[in-house]
């Protein structure tokens, strides 16, 4: 047999240099960058390959060089030749040689399934992540503090999932939430699939000469950081009549974003156009949850001609001609515009209201020149019940005689006077119930004319209810500062029942509750803006959530409970449970697995294993384990029953508080894994119970399948079909059913 001789080492060195040269030829921008980077492209590639295994199928490499703010980065991207087998991405600091980011994605191996026994525990995954941290960032470890991850949900229905571990920087004991490390580990093969290092290079100011927390708290209180307001939760909470239901909250809304300068005790003046770097959710400078108070983007579907006729006959809505006449009272519609469409639609947020929508357009828009000072488009909306104009907008062409020479004649104050004079005419009753709000997304006066005055000025007047702001409602106006015309107007004003403010917390009480939940903590933050793109580091007191809790920017105005973005108390959101009363129980393993998935949390940290489980409790946990996993809003009983019926788990109207029998448990578990067609076959099943002869033939198949799949716990020789099921037996069955399903 002929043995192939191994090439000498110089062969590999030569091949390596040829490969690097080919990369530099293919990517000239990278070649230029190599002259200034302290770490070469070759060194960056070798560093990544020394620490990670790149699949052999990823033969194509693309590289790029970035110099962003204070960081120089080599970006490396390996892919398969066909581009369909996933990718491996990495970034290396071109000054320090540190790997600062790695991410690998591979398509799921569809035929193969990971057996439950192969799923690695969180403890194993944490060891893997810790080893990776010590290998890649040994110089950073001394300043890193692990972020608790006990609330992380672990699904039961997936073959594999991802464990996420985070470390936060603490410099001299002062947390710096924007800096830290995140590592993601797959549960099936214990492989690291994501690594992110964020570390500020700017010198941190010394944590000396700072005020004490009490002075910071006084500054927070005096600044009016929390504002009482009505909100519309994004779920569209509705009363039985179908209308949206506002909630009264205290919301963190201040230009400083809640930061108190740790040396002066005053709110930190961040200005505008600032941004933060960092790893999200690391426990201090988290992205704040906001409530979407804007109107839904998707309109209600238009009504059919038959429905329109029925509505006009029964509700006596305004006819089309009268609605157009109402528009013409406020908007001049030139004779050269054609009515292109007219529809009658329900109003979002007010299902009992219909609105006419009109659109006029100049014919030959693309083939004929525009006419000076005449609009090309007009859109308008009219309340079909009251005849009130609730929206219009006009689009004018630019003046072809004066290309590039647009000069505004109105400044902000003059444009505001024009807007308010108009609003006093069109909304004499509602305008006094509003206040001019600062809305960066709407009020930004762009673009500017030759004299640098904005050529359009936008104004957003938000509704006040009993003196409390309701940002979801209000009036918006745009003024053309060149011609002095009102070019757009929009009214959003729901007919709602607002909770009375009587009994709400005082502002001082609200601050106390908010800071009990998010205590002011001495911290570092880094702020970037247009003036300082490399970032400036500040010492501040900021409201920081407690470890292993979720962040909220708002609290209930009456109870002081933190609320999620849907307006639900955070303590109702699913989180991993660590039960204190199941140690040594025969179902301890299954109960704890259910707890890690966020199930069976009705009693908080106690499970109460011997309590009888009710129908509604079992169905709710079945939903939360599968279709509604991680659901943030608590499910009302009726919604649980409705969804269970839609999924085919139950029929009819089962009593929510009824005890679940052993027979019913078997039926529900079989239906959960879609084996009911097999279970309904009669005459082929046998069960090893002494009372098998008394079991109903129509349920024997369900019992046999549940027993054969080892998802039922029956301690005695008899099945006892009508035996009430305990919470432990239900958790055991549900967890083992879901394990069998995946």
DSSP string, 229-270: EEE--TT--B-TTS-B--EEEEEE--TTTT-EETTT-SBP--
Q: Note the pLDDT tens digit of each residue in 658-687.
A: 999 999 999 999 999 999 999 999 889 989
N residues, the chain: 742
* φ and ψ of 264, to 5 deg: -105, -25
Please confirm whether the linkage preceding 720 is cis (ω < 30° from 0).
no
Q: What is the per-residue pLDDT across 393-414, written as a single tens digit (0 to 9) for each?
A: 999 886 544 545 667 889 999 9
Give the closest residue to 227 by CA, choosing from 427, 20, 432, 505: 505
pLDDT tens column, 12-61? 444 444 444 444 434 444 444 445 668 899 999 999 999 999 988 898 89
Q: Which helix (H) or strand (E) holds 701?
A: helix 697-708
| 237-241, 308-312, 702-706: the lowest-pLDDT one | 237-241
Q: Which residues contact 612 (CB under 8 A, 6 or more apart)?
A: 659, 660, 724, 725, 726, 727
Collect all residues with Cβ–Cβ distance below 8 Å to 636 and sequence separation of at least 6: none
Give per-residue pLDDT as tens, 251-282: 998 888 899 999 999 998 776 555 555 444 44
C-alpha distances out from residue 491 to 245, 379, 461, Å: 19, 14, 10
Rounded to whole angstroms, the Cα distance separating 459 from 454 reads 13
Count of CB atoms situated within 10 Å of the CB of 531:
9
Asked if pLDDT for residue 6 goes beyond 80, the answer is no
pLDDT of residue 69: 62
Distance CA(684)–CA(704), nearest Å, equals: 10
Q: Which two tokens stand for residue 378?
A: 């007009």
Q: What is the pLDDT of residue 575?
A: 78
Rounded to the nearest integer, the mean pLDDT of the chain is: 83
Which range among 153-162, 333-342, 381-390, 495-504 shows the weakest confidence by mean pLDDT?
153-162
DSSP code for 148: P
In sequence order, the β-bridge partners of residue 555 are: 250, 562
Q: What's the average model confidence in pLDDT over 432-452?
A: 70
> Is residue 649 a contact partner of residue 619, using CB atoms and an 8 Å limit?
yes
Provide the pLDDT confidence category of residue 121 given band limits of 50, 70 and 90: confident
* Distance, C-alpha 104 to centroid of its chain: 23
SS3 category, 176: strand
Q: How far is CA 426 from CA 27, 121, 213, 238, 388, in A?
A: 62, 65, 50, 30, 9
Average pLDDT over every residue of 337-350: 82
The candidate with the shortest Cα–Cα distance to 709, out of 683, 742, 684, 682, is 742
């Amino acid at each position: 047999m002929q043995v192939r001789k191994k090439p000498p080492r110089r062969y590999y060195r030569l091949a390596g240099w040829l490969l690097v040269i080919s990369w530099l030829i293919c990517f000239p921008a990278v070649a230029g960058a190599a002259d200034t980077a302290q770490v070469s492209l070759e060194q960056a590639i070798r560093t990544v390959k020394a620490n990670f295994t790149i699949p052999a199928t990823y033969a194509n490499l693309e590289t790029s060089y970035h110099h962003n703010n204070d960081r120089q980065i080599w970006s490396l991207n390996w892919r398969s030749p066909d581009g369909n087998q996933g990718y491996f991405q990495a970034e290396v600091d071109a000054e320090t040689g540190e790997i600062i980011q790695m991410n690998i994605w591979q398509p799921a191996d569809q035929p193969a399934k990971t057996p439950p026994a192969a799923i690695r525990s969180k403890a194993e995954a944490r060891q893997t992540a810790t080893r990776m941290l010590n290998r890649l960032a040994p110089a950073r470890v001394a300043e890193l503090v692990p972020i608790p991850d006990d609330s992380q949900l672990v699904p039961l229905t997936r073959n594999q999932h991802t464990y996420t571990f985070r470390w936060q920087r603490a410099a001299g004991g002062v947390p710096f939430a924007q800096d830290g490390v995140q590592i993601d580990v797959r549960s099936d093969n214990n492989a690291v699939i994501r690594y992110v290092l964020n570390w500020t290079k700017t010198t941190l100011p010394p944590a000396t000469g700072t005020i004490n927390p009490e002075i910071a708290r006084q500054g927070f209180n005096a600044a009016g950081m929390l504002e009482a307001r009505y909100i519309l939760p994004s779920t569209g909470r509705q009363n039985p009549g179908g209308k949206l239901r506002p909630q009264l909250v205290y919301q963190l809304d201040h230009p400083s974003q809640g930061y108190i300068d740790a040396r002066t005790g005053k709110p930190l003046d961040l200005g505008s156009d600032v941004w933060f770097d960092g790893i999200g959710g690391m426990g201090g400078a988290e992205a704040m949850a906001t409530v979407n108070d804007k109107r839904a983007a998707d309109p209600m579907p238009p009504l059919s001609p038959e429905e329109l006729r029925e509505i006009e006959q029964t509700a006596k809505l305004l006819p089309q001609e009268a609605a157009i006449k109402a528009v013409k009272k406020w908007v001049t519609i030139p004779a050269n515009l054609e009515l292109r469409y007219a529809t009658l639609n329900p109003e979002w947020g007010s299902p009992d209201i219909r609105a006419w929508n009109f659109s006029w357009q100049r014919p030959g828009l693309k083939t004929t020149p525009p006419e000076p000072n005449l609009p090309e488009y007009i859109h308008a909306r009219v309340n079909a019940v009251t005849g009130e104009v609730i929206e219009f907008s006009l689009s004018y062409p630019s003046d072809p005689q004066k290309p590039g020479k647009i000069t505004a004649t109105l400044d902000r104050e003059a444009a505001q006077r024009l807007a308010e004079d108009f609003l006093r005419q069109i909304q004499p009753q509602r305008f006094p119930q509003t206040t001019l709000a600062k809305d960066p997304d709407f009020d930004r006066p762009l673009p500017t004319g030759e004299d640098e005055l904005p050529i359009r000025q936008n104004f957003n007047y938000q509704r006040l209810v009993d003196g409390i702001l309701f940002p979801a409602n209000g009036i918006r106006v745009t003024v053309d500062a060149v011609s002095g015309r009102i070019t757009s107007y929009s009214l959003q004003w729901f007919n709602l029942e607002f909770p009375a403010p009587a009994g709400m917390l005082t502002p001082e009480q609200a601050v106390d509750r908010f800071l009990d939940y998010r205590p002011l903590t001495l911290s570092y933050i880094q702020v970037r803006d247009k003036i300082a793109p490399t970032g400036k580091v500040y010492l501040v007191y900021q409201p920081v959530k407690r470890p292993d809790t979720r962040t909220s920017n708002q609290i209930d105005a009456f109870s002081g409970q933190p609320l999620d973005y849907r307006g639900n108390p955070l303590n109702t959101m699913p989180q991993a449970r660590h039960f204190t009363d199941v140690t040594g129980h025969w179902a301890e393993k299954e109960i704890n697995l259910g707890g890690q998935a966020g199930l069976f949390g009705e009693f908080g940290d106690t499970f109460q294993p011997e309590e009888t489980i009710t129908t509604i409790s079992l169905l709710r946990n079945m939903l939360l384990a599968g279709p509604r996993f991680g659901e943030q809003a608590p499910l009302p009983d009726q919604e649980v029953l409705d969804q269970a019926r839609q999924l085919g788990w139950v029929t009819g109207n089962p009593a929510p508080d009824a005890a679940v029998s052993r027979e019913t448990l078997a039926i529900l578990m079989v239906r959960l894994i879609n084996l009911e067609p097999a279970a309904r076959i009669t005459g082929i099943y046998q069960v090893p119970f002494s009372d098998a002869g008394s079991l109903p033939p129509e349920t024997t198949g369900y019992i046999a399948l549940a027993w054969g799949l080892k998802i039922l716990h029956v301690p005695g020789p008899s099945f006892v079909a009508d035996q009430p099921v305990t919470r432990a037996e239900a958790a055991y069955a549900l967890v083992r059913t879901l394990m069998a399903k995946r």
